[in-house]
Amino acid sequence: MTTQALIDYCMGKQGAWLNCPFGPEPVCVRIGKRIFAEIFLTRPWITLKCDAIYGLAMREAYPDTIRRGYHCPPPQHPYNNTVTLDGTVPESTLLEMIDHSYQHALISLTKSEQLIALDRKNPV
């Protein structure tokens, strides 16, 4: 998948919005106040949220391609995976990982934050 295709897929999620809190890279896609995807423009990487068990399973399934979250503080490493976009991970698996990340970020919001986030109009 191209970087633009990844951004488009993430932005297709209800309530998703873009920002760049760390500078021009990575481009972050959020639901509410939570980042669920960090897409790097100059490197073929995407960092996604995950629960610790799912994250470990994905790292074990693709040890040369998926690693602990880059650009994440050490306490967050078990809850983020960085995927190298070299074609090793099938597109269907990558999309599943994005879906998982979105859901993981969404449920981490309070109920009132979820309602506000899901009501946000998607500009795309």
Domain assignment present for 79 = yes
Domain assignment present for 124 = no
Question: 121 pLDDT band (50/70/90 cuts)?
Answer: low
In sequence order, what are the residues at sequence separation of 6 or more whose Cβ sits closer than 8 angstroms to the Cβ of residue 30?
Answer: 16, 17, 18, 19, 36, 105
Structural domain of 83: 3-118
Residue 79's pLDDT is 86
Residue 119's pLDDT is 85
Domain assignment present for 76 = yes
What's the whole-number mean pLDDT along residues 26-54? 95
Q: Does residue 78 have a cis peptide bond before it, meaning omega lies within 30 degrees of 0?
A: no
Q: What DSSP character marks residue 69?
A: P
Residue 66 phi/psi, 5-degree rounding, is -115, 130
Name the burial class of residue 39, with classes exposed (0-12), middle (13-18) and buried (19+) by CB atoms within 10 angstroms of its CB.
buried
The total number of structural domains in the chain stands at 1
Domain assignment present for 29 = yes
Domain assignment present for 123 = no
Q: How do strand 16-19 and strand 27-31 relate by DSSP bridges?
A: antiparallel
Q: Over the stretch 5-30, which tens digit does the pLDDT of each residue have?
A: 999 999 999 999 999 999 989 999 99
CATH number at residue 97: 3.90.1150.30
Residue 69's pLDDT is 86
| pLDDT higher than threshold 70 for residue 122 | no
Q: Over the stretch 51-90, which tens digit does the pLDDT of each residue have?
A: 999 999 999 999 999 998 887 777 777 789 999 999 999 9
